[in-house]
Amino acid sequence: MDTDVRILRWPDQADEADRLARLEAPRLLIVESGVPPPTETSCVVDWLRLPADDEDLRARLVALAERAARHPSRPVVDGYGQLSYRGTTVFLSSVDEQITKILVENFGHPVPAEGLIPRVWPQHGTNENLRVHISRLRHRIAPLGLTITNVKSHGYVMREAEATDTTRRLPRRAGATTHERPRSRRRQPQRIVTTQPNTTPRPR
C-alpha cells in the first residue's frame, strides 16, 4: 500500500503534528532556523532544519515512507465516531462504530459472530443484522485501505486490504511438471465486408 508522508512546518503546525502522531501517520517536520527540534522518537517521524537541500528532503521522505510501510499500526476510533488510519478519517454510524471498535481491538485477528452480536445488540441481534452492517462497513472503510473478511468457522477480521489478496499463485518449483493440457485458442472467424457496385446512373 502506498504511504503518503505529511510535510509540516515546526513549530507552526505542532497541533497537526500531534494529531498525526495519535494516528501513527508518517510525517516530516520542517524545523525553522533557531528553533529547538522536536523530541518525538517514533519510527514514522523525522525532521529537517531549514534551509533544507532538495536531495536531503527527498531522501528523508523516501526513508519515512519505507519505514511507515513496515511499521505495525492499527486504526483508531475516537469518541466522536471517527475511524482514522494512516492519516485518513471516515465517520461511522453508532452501530458501525460499535462493530468497528471490537474489530479494531482484535485488529488482524478474527472475531466470531457470537462475540460481536451480544455486544452490539444485547437483546435482539441476529446474524442478518450483522451481515448487513458488515457489508456496509466494508464500503465505508475502503478509502482507508482497510477491509473486513469472513474467515470460515472463525469470524470477521479487519485488516489492511492488501493483506487479503490471495489471488497470487506461488511460483512453481524448479523441475515441477504439470498434467494439465494447454488450452487451445479458438480462432475467431474473420468478418468479411462486401460492397455492392453502385448502379445509380450518373447525371450527364
**Last-in-domain residue among 55, 70, 85:** 70
Residues 60 and 82 placed together within one structural domain of the fold: no
Determine, yes or no, domain membership for 187: no
What's the domain count of the chain? Answer: 2
Pairwise CA distance, residues 157 & 108, whole Å: 6
Strands (E), the chain: 6-10, 27-31, 45-49, 76-77, 82-85, 88-91, 146-151, 155-160
Determine, yes or no, domain membership for 95: yes
Pairwise CA distance, residues 8 & 103, whole Å: 32
Pairwise CA distance, residues 48 & 56, whole Å: 8
Task: Provide the pLDDT for residue 200.
Answer: 52
**Per-residue confidence band for 170, with pLDDT thresholds at 50, 70 and 90:** very low
Determine, yes or no, domain membership for 96: yes
Residues 52 and 28 placed together within one structural domain of the fold: yes
Residue 12 domain boundaries: 6-70
Q: How far does Cα 74 stand from its chain's mean position?
A: 11
Pairwise CA distance, residues 157 & 104, whole Å: 9
Least confident of 90-94, 127-131, 184-188: 184-188
| Cβ contact 155:112 at 8 Å | yes
Determine, yes or no, domain membership for 198: no
Percentage above 70 pLDDT, the chain = 77
175 strand-pairing partners: none
Residues 81 and 102 placed together within one structural domain of the fold: yes
Residues 85 and 156 placed together within one structural domain of the fold: yes
Least confident of 8-22, 39-53, 63-77, 190-204: 190-204
Task: Provide the pLDDT for residue 203.
Answer: 53
Q: What is the model's pTM?
A: 0.55
Residues 61 and 29 placed together within one structural domain of the fold: yes
Residues 63 and 89 placed together within one structural domain of the fold: no
Cell reading at 94: 453508532
**Last-in-domain residue among 45, 70, 95:** 70
